[in-house]
Copies of this chain bind each other. A is one copy, B any other.
């Protein structure tokens, strides 16, 4: 009773407080602003405008600009993680789960020049916040753990660790490139690069290659249905 008095909000149908809703709106608007204008030209006022409120409101919900960007960063990573979880529900074996990870990271809706640029900006911006370093570390650890969980079906312990690490590095590399490179880096290209790496790191006899191919195509299909239908585009990373 006394403990719950801290969170005094209790609208039975709506669990979230207005504050948390606003914070979500604002971090979404902030991400949009970074995508639209670039980090350097993203001001609190523009974020407020995009959310339909005044600049002051932004600072009322986030103690400073850093905290706002921190929230955006956390939110982006969460969404990326969610995409993987969603995709994983339709993956039935190690091959498919492996490709669920890859496809979740590179599917067209969230993998494009502007978004990757924003991601790089945010990462750089947020690097001094120890809070965000933990988020980032947790995110990397999660991806790596997910990769390990699947790769161990194909490799021994030592190689599983190293390969998972390499693949996660490759993912980061592709995101940076996509953000910096002038000519756009398509999802197909990125996934193809990952495929080449996977086939070099894992057993690549004829049968394995075929199963990887099959799994990749299935997850790409699932992704295009899931991310296309579910209004993921409007809700999250629309550009």
Interface residues of A (CB under 8 A from B): 38-40, 117, 120-121, 123-125, 127-128, 130, 133-134, 136-137, 140, 162, 165-166, 169-174, 176-177, 179-182, 193, 196-197, 200-201
Contacts and interface: CB of A to CB of B under 8 A. Distances in A.
Given A117-B127, A124-B179, 9 more contacts: A39-B124, A120-B176, A121-B125, A123-B179, A124-B125, A130-B182, A137-B182, A162-B193, A173-B173
Nearest to A189: B165
Contact of A124 (B124, B128, B182): B124
Nearest to A122: B124
Contacts of A38: 127-128
A173 B182 contact: no
A166 B193 contact: yes
B165 A123 contact: no
Contacts of A121: 124-125, 127
A34 to B, nearest CB: 10
A36 to B, nearest CB: 12
Nearest to A201: B200
B193 A127 contact: no
Given A123-B176, A173-B169, A196 B136 contact: no
A181 B193 CA distance: 24
> Quick one: which of A133, A140, A169, A170 has the most chain B CB within 10 A?
A169
A18 to B, nearest CB: 30
Nearest to A182: B133
A38 B200 CA distance: 38
